[in-house]
């Protein structure tokens, strides 16, 4: 367990050896589901996993749920493991958290791996087409999904199945994500999602333009969230490389493991834009 500066206990674990890699799971309000990633990278990295505040195996009912608090908790994880610097990988909401941490603590991040994020532009630029694609992807499961309460395990499995490009594997992979099932922190989800929407895109763009950290953006080609949403982030960052994994959805490691592993273990220098 890691204890934050305000006394909250966060579940955390470490496996493997090598340079420190810290994983930031998606959500908000979910828990670390990076078992496959940790096992597959532990020959290259010392992989550090953690459940965010009020989620999964971490202490429950433990707000506040703000971006600033989430960044402070990630800093507590770094300090708790005794890390000076780290490679930081964030997925989905966790990609946003990892980016915000790197903006606040660039000297602590050797490399930023931004996986399946939604960029730094306004939400209304990507959410409407995403919702349309999501409802279409649910197909025959849509009526059942609408019947179930938010946070219900079956609803989560149906919802997450839409994030896999291969329909023959989708329900099986989503059920694996939900096993074990720790429940969704809907308060965290609502408050942190609102905080992301409230960000000033222009201010965030200006901060990203000054971020002198090697960054690799990893996209699944068939992610339901329009990949064009990430274009503004790619344009803003001065040291960035983008890898698009063909045939993969929102969890690209599950559908193109070799491509994902290559993208996140490539330590070659990312040249400044225009070099």
Residue 80's pLDDT band, with cuts at 50, 70 and 90, is: very high
Whole-number Å distance between alpha carbons of 114 and 184: 23
Confidence at residue 21, expressed as pLDDT on a 0 to 100 scale: 98
What is the tens place of the pLDDT at every residue in 102-138? 999 999 999 999 999 999 999 999 999 999 999 999 9
8 A C-beta contact, residue 256 and residue 249 = no
Whole-number Å distance between alpha carbons of 60 and 245: 36
Average pLDDT rounded to a whole number, residues 44-60: 95
Whole-number Å distance between alpha carbons of 99 and 48: 17
Average pLDDT rounded to a whole number, residues 246-251: 98
Entry pTM: 0.97
Residue 204's pLDDT band, with cuts at 50, 70 and 90, is: very high
Could you give the strand order of the β-sheet that contains 86-91, starting from the edge strand earlier in sequence?
12-16, 46-50, 20-24, 86-91, 109-115, 214-220, 240-245
SS3 19: coil
Residue 60's pLDDT band, with cuts at 50, 70 and 90, is: confident
**In b/e form, how buried is each residue of 30-67, taking b as 16+ CB within 10 angstroms?**
bbbbbebbbebbbebbbbbbbbbbbbbbbbeebeebeb
Average pLDDT rounded to a whole number, residues 201-217: 97
Average pLDDT rounded to a whole number, residues 72-88: 98
Token output for 222: 């068939």
Query: In CATH, which superfamily holds the domain spanning 2-122+184-265?
Result: Alpha/Beta hydrolase fold, catalytic domain (3.40.50.1820)
8 A C-beta contact, residue 89 and residue 115 = yes
β-pair type (2-3, 12-16): unpaired
Confidence at residue 62, expressed as pLDDT on a 0 to 100 scale: 73
Cα atoms in the 13 Å half-sphere on the side-chain side of 142? 10
What is the tens place of the pLDDT at every residue in 223-232? 999 999 999 9
Residue 169 has a CB neighbour count (10 Å cut-off) of 14
Size of the chain, expressed as the number of residues it contains? 275
Average pLDDT rounded to a whole number, residues 52-62: 89
Average pLDDT over the chain, rounded to an integer: 96
Residue 126 has a CB neighbour count (10 Å cut-off) of 19
Place of tokens 């594997």: 169
Confidence at residue 274, expressed as pLDDT on a 0 to 100 scale: 57
Confidence at residue 268, expressed as pLDDT on a 0 to 100 scale: 87
Confidence at residue 275, expressed as pLDDT on a 0 to 100 scale: 57
8 A C-beta contact, residue 102 and residue 213 = yes
Enumerate the domain spans of the chain. 2-122+184-265
SS3 66: coil
Question: Could you tell me where the beta strands, DSSP code E, fall in 206-258?
Answer: 214-220, 240-245
Average pLDDT rounded to a whole number, residues 27-31: 97
8 A C-beta contact, residue 19 and residue 214 = no
């Amino acid at each position: 367990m890691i204890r934050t500066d305000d006394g909250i206990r966060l579940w955390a674990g470490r496996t493997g050896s090598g340079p420190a890699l810290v994983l930031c799971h998606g959500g908000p309000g979910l828990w670390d589901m990076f078992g496959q990633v940790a096992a597959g990278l532990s020959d290259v990295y010392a992989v550090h996993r953690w459940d965010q505040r009020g989620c999964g195996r971490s202490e429950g009912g433990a707000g506040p749920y703000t971006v600033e608090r989430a960044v402070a908790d990630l800093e507590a994880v770094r300090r708790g493991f005794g890390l000076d610097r780290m490679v930081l990988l964030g997925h989905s909401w966790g990609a946003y958290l990892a980016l915000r941490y790197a903006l606040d603590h660039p000297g602590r991040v050797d490399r930023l791996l931004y996986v399946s994020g939604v960029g730094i532009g306004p939400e209304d630029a990507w959410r409407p087409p995403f919702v349309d694609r999501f409802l279409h992807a649910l197909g025959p499961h849509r009526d059942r999904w609408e019947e179930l309460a938010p946070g219900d395990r079956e609803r989560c499995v149906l919802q997450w199945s839409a994030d896999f490009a291969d329909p023959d594997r989708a329900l099986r992979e989503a059920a694996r994500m939900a096993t074990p099932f720790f429940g969704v922190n809907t308060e965290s989800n609502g408050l942190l999602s609102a905080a992301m929407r409230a960000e000033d895109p222009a201010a965030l763009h200006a901060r990203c333009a000054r971020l002198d950290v090697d960054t690799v953006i990893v996209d699944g080609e068939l992610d339901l969230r329009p990949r064009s949403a990430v274009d503004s982030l790619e344009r803003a960052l001065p040291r960035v490389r983008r890898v698009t994994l063909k045939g993969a959805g929102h969890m690209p490691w599950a559908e193109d493991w070799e491509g994902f592993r290559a993208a996140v273990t490539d330590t070659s220098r990312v040249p400044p834009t225009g070099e």
